[in-house]
Amino acid sequence: MPAPETHTGLVRRARRTNRVLAETYPDAGIELDFDNAFELLVVTVLSAQTTDRRVNAVRPTLFAAYPDPASMAAAPREHLEQIVGPLGFFRAKTESLLKLSAALVERYDGEVPGRLEDLVTLPGVGRKTANVVLGNAFDVPGITVDTHFGRLVRRFGWTEETDPVKVEHAIGALFPKSDWTMLSHHLIWHGRRICHAKKPACGACPVARLCPSYGEGPTDPEAAAALVKTQGPA
């Protein structure tokens, strides 16, 4: 029976896994389109319970009509609902955009704040959304604990935590801050393409030998290869 993994061993394995994933996904990055911090904040809020590709499809129409917080805060609700309708939950998402934009105008002179403690006070913005904006619009290191990230860190045996905030702190302790944003991209890309929730493509996984959950999905190379996706979900 192998000896239990030490904390030092866990840190080494986690960082090695990240290095392999960085080599596997050299183009990893956010898959939402945006031109500035406001756009990123809005599209991240809209991406809840839908796909990035669908959000990207409505983005040009949305920001052509309402390019900044002031114009979006004053948008007719019906028109905003019509634009975001294809994303599902359009009434709730419209409400979030109206309140979020109004808060930016009233509290921050129409500018997106660059601090976590400010972002999370905005309507509809939690730590996950805040860290997406910080890491990708402001170059402030942040860990984005979405469903893919949470699933993979538990499969990798990096943590047993399930609460997103506890996961964020546990994983942050294993890596230098400078790695946090790209670590998030690497795991999210891997989760979307290979390490699926129901049937991970274990036989095609570049970090299989570092993963204690190897075998949860098909280990046969051909069967696994058939499960691999070349991009994120539609």
The tokens describing 150, both together, are 């949470």
Residue tagged active-site, from 93, 99, 118, 146 = 146
Measured N-to-C along each axis, helices 127-137 and 180-193 cross at an angle, to the nearest 10 degrees, of 110
128 has catalytic annotation: yes
Residue tagged active-site, from 52, 93, 128, 179 = 128
93 has catalytic annotation: no
The tokens describing 98, both together, are 């109206």
For residue 93, give every residue at least 6 positions away whose Cβ sits within 8 Å of its Cβ, in sequence order, or none: 45, 46, 48, 84, 87
The CA-based dihedral angle spanning residues 72, 68, 28, 179, taken in that order and rounded to the nearest 10 degrees:
-110
Q: How many CB atoms lie within 10 A of CB 185?
A: 21
Catalytic residues: 128, 146
